[in-house]
Amino acid sequence: MLEKLFGFNPKETSVRTEIMAGITTFLTMAYILAVNPSILGETGMDKGALFTTTVLMSALPTIFMALYAKLPLALAPGMGLNAFFAYTVCLIMGYSWQFALTAVFLEGLAFILLTVTNLREKIVEVIPPALKTAISAGIGLYIAFIGLKNAEVIVDNPATLVSLGKLTSGSGLLGVIGIGLTSVLLVRNVKGALLIGILATTLIGIPMGITNLDGVFSIPPSVEPIFMKFEWSHVFTAEMATIVFTLLFVDLFDCIGTVIGVTTRANMVGEDGKIPNLKKVFMVDSLSTAAGAAMGTSTVAVYVESAAGVNEGGRSGLTAFTTGVCFLVALFFAPFFLAIPAAATAPVLVLVGLMMMSNIWKIDFFDYKESIPAFICMIFMPLAYSISDGILLGHLSYVIVNLLSGNRKNLTTGMYILAIIFLIKFLI
């Protein structure tokens, strides 16, 4: 039954492992329940309604992924895309949040069209093997950086952009303790090390005054204030087209990069380089974005934190199903789940980042036509704070380096087309 529902293979994993992996993925993603309402609330949207919508549009798409694509991938309103929604479209450009939701809905419809026509799959096939490996490693660096930043181990610095934070007290100290504790658990091969690390670090944060538990149970607020609040008066304008294109572009390559990275880490990529049920993954992603807009949130995306569950041994849809159920539980126990501080999830993100770099040996660093683009791809993900920009720059450099060095046999028509599209993106 489990095999039919979730693609569960008892030879590769166990029910206990899948459930632990699902819980781990949830705990590394739980921050979105606090962050998304906070960001989108800046536009004037009802924060209570946003919390409920964030939970539902994390739980339902993830369960859909579990049952339809049968992969350990979780979805939720995407970070970065919610910031673009709130700060760029609404606060800087001056459009209403209803206008922004309409743009997200149109983006979802466009994604459905691209998925049905298999264009998204063809884009994945065009990406060279070295870059696919680099994407996984780059995402590792990216999520490790996010973890260190969230824990305030790395902080802003006007002179040097970033610098080391205060490690002797507060969130920085708790983050360091969590990294050390979780590292020891991993070294000692403790089952569920990542999950235990999150929970233990959360408990340590109580006497430090960082973990603040304010109640356990709560009744979910209504989504009515933001449900189906579209604004159709500006649909056929250049401004709407520009915003939809931007959302589409960023989401497309963030999704591709995340799926490649996580499935590569899970050893799910076939010898032919193909990812199982890829079209189904893209369809879940597309439908979830359109549904999320109707529910009142920004673009729903596949989460890179899915790698945390994969590294706990998650290999089937049962992992994603567990994550989705955890989100539904969070709907009624929000105070408890929101008490988990960023410093407690940071160690998992840092160590998963390490794990995602484990396949880097597949890149021949002495073959510069392969290694230079791969390095550019990897390094720009954390430095530009964008998975999609890393992919774009990596692919562009791959085509340029191979073209100008006389290695045209390494390039396909699809690579040229994709490079031209990327170049146009940077020029406009």
Q: What is the pLDDT of residues 160-202, one digit of tens each?
A: 999 999 999 999 999 999 999 999 998 998 877 888 888 899 8
> Over 80: is that where the pLDDT of 269 sits?
no
pLDDT at 374: 95
CB 293 within 8 A of CB 61: no
Percent share of the chain, pLDDT over 70:
99
**Exposed (0-12), middle (13-18) or buried (19+): which is 234, by Cβ within 10 Å?**
middle
Which of 79-83, 143-147, 179-183, 312-316 tops mean pLDDT? 179-183
- Judging by DSSP bridges, how do beta strands 161-164 and 300-302 pair with one another? unpaired
Coil, strand or helix: which one is 80?
coil
Residues 6+ apart with CB under 8 A from 37: 47, 48, 50, 51, 54
Q: Which residues pair with 156 in a beta bridge?
A: 162
Shortest CA distance to 319 belongs to which of 307, 301, 328? 307
Which residue has better confidence, 214 or 187? 187
- In angstroms, the CA 120 to CA 134 distance is 19
Residue 254 pLDDT grade (very low, low, confident, very high; cuts 50, 70, 90): confident
Which residue has better confidence, 336 or 317? 317
Which residue has better confidence, 58 or 83? 58
Percent share of the chain, pLDDT over 90:
49
Q: Of the ranges 148-157, 218-227, 330-339, 394-403, which one carries the lowest mean pLDDT score?
A: 330-339
pLDDT at 160: 93
Q: Which residues pair with 162 in a beta bridge?
A: 156
CA dihedral over 17, 304, 163, 157, signed as positive or negative: negative
Q: 70: part of which helix (H) or strand (E)?
A: none
Give me 109's structure tokens.
Answer: 């419809």
pLDDT at 357: 86
Taken as a whole, the chain contains a residue count of: 428
> Over 80: is that where the pLDDT of 291 sits?
yes
pLDDT at 212: 87
pLDDT at 205: 94
Coil, strand or helix: which one is 155?
strand
pLDDT at 193: 81
> Over 90: is that where the pLDDT of 58 sits?
yes
Give me 343's structure tokens.
Answer: 């410093």
